[in-house]
Amino acid sequence: MARRLDVTGADGVRLAAWDYTPGGHTAGSPGIPGIPGGPGSPAPAPASGVRGIIPQPGPDTAPSPGGHTAPRPGGHTVPRPARPPAAPAPAPAPGAPGVLLLHGLMGHAGHWAPAVRRLTGGHRIVALDQRGHGASGKPAAGPFTREAYVADAAAVVEQLGLGPVTLVGHSMGALTAWQLAAERPDLVRALVICDMRASALGAASQRAWQDWFRGWPAPFPSLPAVHRWFGDEDPWVETPHPARGAFFAEVMAEHPDGWRPVFDPEQMLTSRETWVHDAHWDSLAQVRCPTLVVRGLDGELGRAEAQEMVRVLPRGAYAEVPDAGHLLHYTHPEAWSEAVEPFLNGVLTP
């Protein structure tokens, strides 16, 4: 069971962090007891008229062996592909090295649960719902800038006493991770970049995303309808992709008129607008800590660009997950863990 920790981010935004460490947070970790509304406090109730599946991250949200549904607080179930059970990781020793997981755009902390359950070793693992996502604050006025996302991550590291931390980021979360590592090397021990490009994606990409959001048939009448659309009916899906449907079902909440995303699509576009037009090679080259670049073989980060990222990084390494796409840690948690864990153990072992 992941334990919720409330953190104050940049501009006072309330952030929900989730401690996946077996047995709760490591004894002796500073800063946690003083967080207002922190561990042990009841989670905020959903807005009136909304029955959500947030907050819900945690290893306990993975399906039971052979099953296809995941229990959620409030009685909801979210269908997900069956995965083999993983042995529980041992509890870390006091003062264990910290690992902070940062999801991608439209994701939430719970998307890391399948992979976290397969990590061994005495790490203290915390996942963050980034601003605008999951159970964290969604300020109408923002900001949703790169600076805000990076400042939020720094606040989590400092307030939860995770530093020097190993940052593991997927997609947009990977960009946040390497920008923090470049700007605050005192806070970061090591870095894992999962399927995020350093090259600019351009204005055409942003326009395509705008059109894609407009094409959503939201509100969805049911969670199975969410699964069908994102896993099969979405024009961006070339072949049926049930795990993609499950991925999006995890970030939906029930409203009186049907199921809608827990995030605001306009805020997602605003977040994306701040990084798609620019390349990020300069900040990548400023990262001095050991860094692993890992990609899905069929993901969005091509092999040539990934290997160039490794070359640019002063202490870069490369790994790939066969048969995986962009959601590599979610769809192939065991293979992802096998690719990442040797690096983690190497940088986290004294």
Q: What digits encode the pLDDT tens for the residues 142-158?
A: 999 999 999 999 999 99
β-pair partners for 5: 17
φ/ψ of 254, rounded to 5, equals -90, 125
**Interacting residues of 156 by C-beta distance below 8 A, sequence separation 6+:** 7, 9, 15, 17, 100, 126, 128, 162
Is 34's pLDDT higher than 80? no
Residue 58 confidence (pLDDT) above 90: no
pLDDT tens string 88-102: 445 555 567 899 999
Closest CA to 169 of 205, 206, 197: 197
Q: What is the mean pLDDT of residues 24-36?
A: 34
CA angle (42 as vertex; 144, 89 as ends), nearest 5: 85
Phi, psi angles (nearest 5°) of residue 259: -100, 130
Over residues 76-94, mean pLDDT? 44
What is the number of H-type helices and E-type strands within the chain? 11, 13
- Distance separating alpha carbons of residues 152 and 195, to the nearest angstrom: 21
Do residues 113 and 331 touch, judged by C-beta distance below 8 A? no
Give the number of C-alpha atoms closer than 13 A to the C-alpha of residue 171, restricted to the C-beta side: 22
**Residue 332 vs residue 59, higher pLDDT:** 332
Residue 83 scores a pLDDT above 60 = no
Q: Is the pTM of this model over 0.75?
A: yes
**Residue 95's pLDDT is what?**
66
- Confidence band for 64, pLDDT divided at 50, 70 and 90: very low
Which pLDDT tens digit goes with each residue over 110-143?
Answer: 999 999 988 866 789 999 999 999 999 999 999 9
d(CA 208, CA 202): 10
Cα(344)–Cα(123) distance, integer angstroms: 9
The answer, yes or no, to whether residue 29 has pLDDT greater than 90, is no
Q: Is residue 80 predicted with pLDDT exceeding 60?
A: no
Nearest to 315, CA basis, from 338, 343, 342: 343
What tens digit of pLDDT does each residue of 230-288 get?
999 999 999 999 999 999 999 999 999 999 999 999 999 999 998 999 999 999 999 99
Q: Is residue 348 very low, low, confident or very high in pLDDT (cuts 50, 70, 90)?
A: confident
Q: What is the arithmetic mean of pLDDT over 284-303?
A: 97
Residue 174 has pLDDT above 50, yes or no: yes
Q: What is the pLDDT of residue 92?
A: 54
More confident residue, 229 or 31: 229
Kindly tell me the burial class for residue 17, based on how many C-beta atoms sit within 10 Å of its own C-beta (0-12, 13-18, 19 or more). Answer: buried
